[in-house]
Structure 1
Amino acid sequence: MPSTSSLHLTVDAQYCSPYAMSVYVALLEKQLPFTLSTLDLDAGANHAPAYALRSLTARVPALQHGDFVLSESSAITEYLDEVFSGPALYPPHPQDKARARQLQAWLRSDLLPLRQERDTLVVFYRPIRCPLSDAARRAAHKLLRVAEQALPAGADYLFGQWSIVDVDLALMLNRLRLNGDPMPQRLADYAALQWQRTSVQRWLDLPRPALK
């Protein structure tokens, strides 16, 4: 097994990035020891030459493993699953694994109006009163439709057992659930269940600075 002594994760200073959360949870689920540091994205610390050059994309999260630095969360979680033993982050069947990666890519690239109007401050700090715009309502409808279709009836997880994609989907659903926006009860129950996972609770317990 490759050495884990030099695993280091860099995340945002408010611990609000859904992508940083995904990698943090993945490291805990793989039972890998790691150190953690933060960058003030509002101050542009991620664009400092030293970090930008190492991370390549100048974004968080970034995982350093020895001399190798990797950014982009789904690339990191796939790397962790391929390089290290321990509990799997992705389902074992090739078609399920492909579907999991499809959902990860979709959650990161679509639904922009919803991500803007129900940002992760809703999830990690407080709800907001502003109603969704027409564009955000359409995005929410799309999210709920896909989630309903992807989650088997009566299931706690997308692929029969927990995977990192359950955390990613639950976070997106929690943008609505934790703000009190309407959603099917079974999806609300699914998102709430994922939020109780020990690794997720560890992320939720991190000391967030007060909002300015």
Structure 2
Amino acid sequence: MSHRPLRLYVDSLFVSPYAMSVFVALREKGLAFETVPLDLEAGQQQAAGYARLSLTQRVPTLEDGEFSLSESSAITEYLDEAYPESRVYPVDPQQRARARQVQAWLRSDLLPIRQERSTLVVFCGQKMPPLSPLAEAAAGKLIGVAQELLMDDPDYLFGTWSIADVDLAVMLNRLILNGDAVPAPLVAYARRQWQRPSVQEWLNQPRPGV
């Protein structure tokens, strides 16, 4: 397949974990793309031109020639189907479904963690007060599920790396990088994901004013 021009629209502060997920997927696939930052505080995502590209007026949005798509897991699934080289999801259908399950869970559950440990902790080194009882319960659930998922292989969720590993590492690092108690094997797992060159490239993006 001849690669069409790709553009990835992200937040200008580079603190969206969902934009990071797509950015990493594109890098892991070796696809050339242009990164287009949008100032969300200034409302650039609501501009008419962008609203035509993104039905939800959110980031990330991928522009692939005349086609555009929003919502990170939809984008990464599309990329694996449209550009199947260097897959970012497991090849096995059942494992692939479980990877998508992990992604959907991380995006729809654990709200107290996201509220009390924003990605400013993850990407900008901010420190937050101790977790509330509600967030403590969510953290316990996250840790329990992560331990169960990694019981057979402490390195990767599904035997080899997938984009779901990055998404899980982001959620764990909301706690780890704030100094919250997380079991050592999960800390090692998150650190391993953080060392991937594609992840490091996102982490090293400039974040002026943050």
Normalising TM by the smaller chain, what interval? over 0.9
Aligned-residue CA RMSD (Å): 1.0
1:142 maps to a residue whose letter is: K
* Residue equivalent to 2:138: 139
**Residue 108 of structure 1: aligned partner:** 107
**Superposition deviation, residue 183 in structure 1:** 0.7
Q: What amino acid sits opposite 2:191 in the alignment?
A: A
Q: Which residue of 1 aligns with 2:40?
A: 41
- Gaps of at least 5 residues in structure 2 are none
**How far apart are the structure 1 equivalents of 2:109 and 2:165?**
17
Distance in structure 2 (CA, Å) of the matches to 1:68 and 1:101: 23
Are the counterparts in 2 of residues 19 and 61 from structure 1 also a CA contact under 8 Å?
Answer: yes
Cα distance in 2 for residues equivalent to 1:62 and 1:159: 27
Deviation of the 1:207 alpha carbon: 1.0
The aligned counterpart of 1:21 is 20
Structure 1 vs Structure 2: percent identity of aligned residues? 60
In structure 2, C-alpha distance between the alignment counterparts of 1:205 and 1:4, rounded to whole Å: 27
**Deviations 1:128-156 (CA, angstroms, capped at 9, x unpaired):** 14111111111111111111111134530
Cα distance in 2 for partners of 1:15, 1:9 equals: 12
1:1-212 to structure 2, matched below 5 A, reads 1=1, 3-211=2-210
Runs of 4+ aligned structure 1 residues displaced above 2 Å come to 152-155
For the residues of structure 2 that align with 1:146 and 1:126, how far apart are their CA atoms?
26
State the TM-score, normalized to the length of structure 2.
0.97
Q: 1:101 to 1:30 in 2, by over 3 A?
A: same
Q: Does structure 2 retain, via aligned residues, the 8 Å contact 1:5–1:34?
A: no
Relative distance call for 1:68 and 1:126 in structure 2 (3 A) is: same
CA contact (8 A) 2:15 2:119 kept: yes
Q: Which moved more, 1:6-15 or 1:48-57?
A: 48-57
| Contact preservation (8 Å) 1:9, 1:61 | yes
What is the aligned residue count?
210
Q: Is the 8 A contact 1:90 1:164 kept in 2?
A: yes
Q: CA deviation at 1:200?
A: 0.3
Counterpart amino acid of 1:128?
K
Distance 1:187 1:153 in 2: 13
Native 8 Å contact 1:113 1:136 kept in 2: yes
SS of the residue 2:77 aligns to: helix
**Alpha-carbon deviations, 1:83-120, whole Å to 9, x = none?**
01321110111111111000100101111110010000
Aligned residue identity for 1:99: R
Give the gaps of 5 or more residues in structure 1: none
Q: Distance in 2 between matches of 1:129 and 1:119?
A: 9
C-alpha contact 1:30 1:88 (8 A) present in aligned 2: yes
The one-letter code of the counterpart of 1:29 is E
